[in-house]
Amino acid sequence: MLDIFGQPRQQKGLEIAATSKIERKGRAWLVPSQSGSGRYTVIPDPDAPHCTCPDHQDGGHKCKHLFAVEYVLRREEKSDGTVTVTAAVRKTYVQDWRAYNTAQTHEKEKFQELLRDLCSGISEPAQPKCGRPRLPIQDALFAAIFKVYSTVSARRFMSDLRDAQTKGHISKTPHFNSIFNYLENPALTPVLREMITETSLPLKAVEVDFACDSSGFTTSRFIRWFDHKYGAPRQQHEWVKVHLMCGVRTNIVTAVEIKDKDASDTKLLPALVDATAENFTLREVSADKGYGSLKNYKAIQYHGAMPYIAFKSIHTGRGGGLWARMYHLYNFHHEQFAAHYHKRSNVESTFSMIKAKFRDHVRSKTDVAMKNEVLCKIICHNICCLIQESHELGIDTAFWAENSPAQEPVLN
């Protein structure tokens, strides 16, 4: 790396390249003035370099703006002006097949045991004084989540539920319509969110690096509109958009936000970071450029973590502090940045795991039920992660050991 200490023009050129937007116009480059008074035209000709700034005109030497353009060119191409193409080497990861096989062959029975323990921490609301007795909330939660795990229809699922009652996981077998009714209850949503948090806690000593992203689950409803271009009605599936944060080592989901299908990714990152930081120590947070903003950088820095969020083409290093330093790292030491940013791919793997195992669509029809069904998918995913890590890392799962039981839901 070139030594720039003790060379003021070179040092300032590096700062300009890292913090300013430099545009190319044919052979020339437009470099903004650091004093904020317009831009200078720079022609980085090797034989006759030129810049319209007073420093270059007066002294005839290479000014900071010429250095800035050189740094921009250096990060876009090799020093000899050529592009080197190398064969891609596929990175492989070690798989503990003995632990994986054991976890998979015993997953269903272990899943029911862990789900029973998880549901046992939910406080039972008081039964109505008149009318038909309500299904116990613990049985209802077990049935709804286990039904999502099974991936079959509620009617075909009833044999599995009767078997769960025989094993003592639930006190009675509910009617399949009762499962639908509970999923449509909005009072169940905060309980399911708390259960997601609880299923992530056994891995709090393992996870310190996290990744964030969003994805959609299709529904059975359609959006219809008239396409004026083709003069015909068109339609497409609606979807439930899920924003989540997960640990990059075990793919455990630590925080979830479900808003409307057009909700902005950028605005939801602080909530995910804050929710994760309540229970985990954060060292790194990675996300794609859709989450890139100064506010998000500050939200991550507030919890003592380093953000590795890709920068958009419209971004500059202006903003100071951590934003400017990470912008410099992203542009001038991209391999070092990418080594951390690569962890972001784990959140895509998490979504792939959930969709491959528990389907990429929801069966429910109402907005509340669709949201609750997706939350059930994430609970199923977290429990499966715990089963896997109990064999690979020897993690002992004990729910509600640190926290008090979940808040008693208010059921209508």
Query: What pLDDT, on a 0 to 100 scale, did the predictor assign at position 87?
Result: 38
Which residue has better confidence, 117 or 55?
117
Which amino acid is located at 226 in the chain?
Answer: F
- Is the pLDDT score of 320 beyond 80? yes
DSSP 247-269: ETTT--EEEEEE--TT--HHHHH
Per-chain mean pLDDT for the chain: 85
**Are the C-beta atoms of 305 and 282 separated by less than 8 Å?**
yes
Query: What pLDDT, on a 0 to 100 scale, did the predictor assign at position 337?
Result: 92
Q: What average pLDDT score do residues 373-382 get?
A: 96
Q: What whole-number distance in Å separates Cα of residue 345 and Cα of residue 347? A: 5
Query: What pLDDT, on a 0 to 100 scale, did the predictor assign at position 84?
Result: 37
Give the burial class of 53: count Cβ atoms within 10 A of its Cβ; 0-12 exposed, 13-18 middle, 19 or more buried: middle
Query: What pLDDT, on a 0 to 100 scale, did the predictor assign at position 108?
Result: 93
- Is the pLDDT score of 326 beyond 80? yes
In tens, the pLDDT along 258-283 reads 988 778 888 999 999 999 999 999 99
- Is the pLDDT score of 65 beyond 80? yes
Q: In angstroms, how far is the first alpha carbon of the chain from the final one?
A: 67
Which residue has better confidence, 128 or 347?
347
Closest CA to 317 of 56, 50, 75: 75
CA triple 84-87-93, angle to 5 deg = 130
Tokens encoding 290: 């859709």
Query: What pLDDT, on a 0 to 100 scale, did the predictor assign at position 60?
Result: 65
Query: What pLDDT, on a 0 to 100 scale, did the predictor assign at position 113?
Result: 95
Residue 408 makes CB contacts below 8 A (sequence gap 6+) with 122, 123, 124, 125
Q: What whole-number distance in Å separates Cα of residue 295 and Cα of residue 126? A: 44
214, β-bridge pairs: 243
In tens, the pLDDT along 29-38 reads 999 887 777 8
242, β-bridge pairs: 215, 258
Cite the residue boundaries of each domain of the chain with CATH code 3.30.420.
Answer: 207-361
Q: What whole-number distance in Å separates Cα of residue 386 and Cα of residue 225? A: 44
Closest CA to 319 of 56, 18, 115, 37: 18
Q: What average pLDDT score do residues 39-49 get?
A: 86
Residue 404 confidence class, pLDDT cut points 50, 70, 90: low
Query: What pLDDT, on a 0 to 100 scale, did the predictor assign at position 2?
Result: 44
Q: What average pLDDT score do residues 69-80 get?
A: 70
Query: What pLDDT, on a 0 to 100 scale, did the predictor assign at position 247?
Result: 96
Q: What average pLDDT score do residues 117-132 get?
A: 82
Tokens encoding 315: 């971004």
Query: What pLDDT, on a 0 to 100 scale, did the predictor assign at position 88?
Result: 38
Report the Cα 292 to chain-centroid distance in Å.
Answer: 13
Closest CA to 276 of 246, 254, 249: 254
Q: Which helix (H) or strand (E) holds 232?
A: strand 232-247
Which residue has better confidence, 71 or 217?
217
| 207-361 is a CATH 3.30.420 domain | yes
Query: What pLDDT, on a 0 to 100 scale, did the predictor assign at position 93?
Result: 62
Which amino acid is located at 175 in the chain?
Answer: H
- Is the pLDDT score of 119 beyond 80? yes
Least confident of 115-119, 130-134, 302-306, 382-386: 130-134
Query: What pLDDT, on a 0 to 100 scale, did the predictor assign at position 1?
Result: 40
Least confident of 11-25, 48-62, 145-159, 227-241: 227-241
Which residue has better confidence, 317 or 129?
317
Task: Give every strand in the sheet of 23-25, ordered side by side.
Answer: 23-25, 28-32, 39-43, 50-51
- The answer to pTM > 0.85 is no
Three-state SS for 344? helix
DSSP label at residue 6: T
Which residue has better confidence, 103 or 403?
103
Strand 209-227 to 232-247 pairing = antiparallel
Q: What average pLDDT score do residues 361-379 get?
A: 92
Give buried/exposed letters for 9-23 (b at 16+ CB in 10 A, else e).
bbebbbbbbbbbebe
Q: Which helix (H) or strand (E) holds 287?
A: strand 284-287
- Is the pLDDT score of 148 beyond 80? yes
- Is the pLDDT score of 81 beyond 70? no
